[in-house]
Amino acid sequence: MLKPNQKQYLKAMAHTLKPVVIIGENGATESVLNEIALALEHHELIKIRVNGEDRLHRNTLIHTVIQASAAELIQCIGHVAILFRRNTKKPRITFP
């Protein structure tokens, strides 16, 4: 569980990031979840874009991704969500 100041730090870091995974009309398929897991392992902090028709559908997809990847939701604005998962073997992000 991240502290509020750590989440703020990650939000600032994610500001310039582009979405690395786009979830389309097929939803959170196994291959999409694998791609997200690999991206989190390599980068720790990623943005994903969820192209859902309505807010409830998008939130459901994001919740599914969070549970499947064991990531923490940092922020969700519109179609874009910021996820963080610490790489225990090779941490890349250090908090101030």
2-38: string of b/e by CB count within 10 Å (b at 16+)? eeeebbebbeeebeeeeebbebeeeebeeebbebbbe
| pLDDT at position 20 | 96
Percent of the chain at pLDDT above 70? 100
Q: Given 2.160.20.60, 3.30.110.60, 1.10.287.610, 3.40.1390.20, which CATH number is that of 27-90?
A: 3.30.110.60
| pLDDT at position 96 | 85
3-state secondary structure of 50: strand
pLDDT tens digits for 86-96? 998 999 999 98
- Quote the mean pLDDT of the chain: 94
| pLDDT surpasses 90 at 52 | no
The answer to whether 39 and 46 are in contact (CB under 8 A) is yes
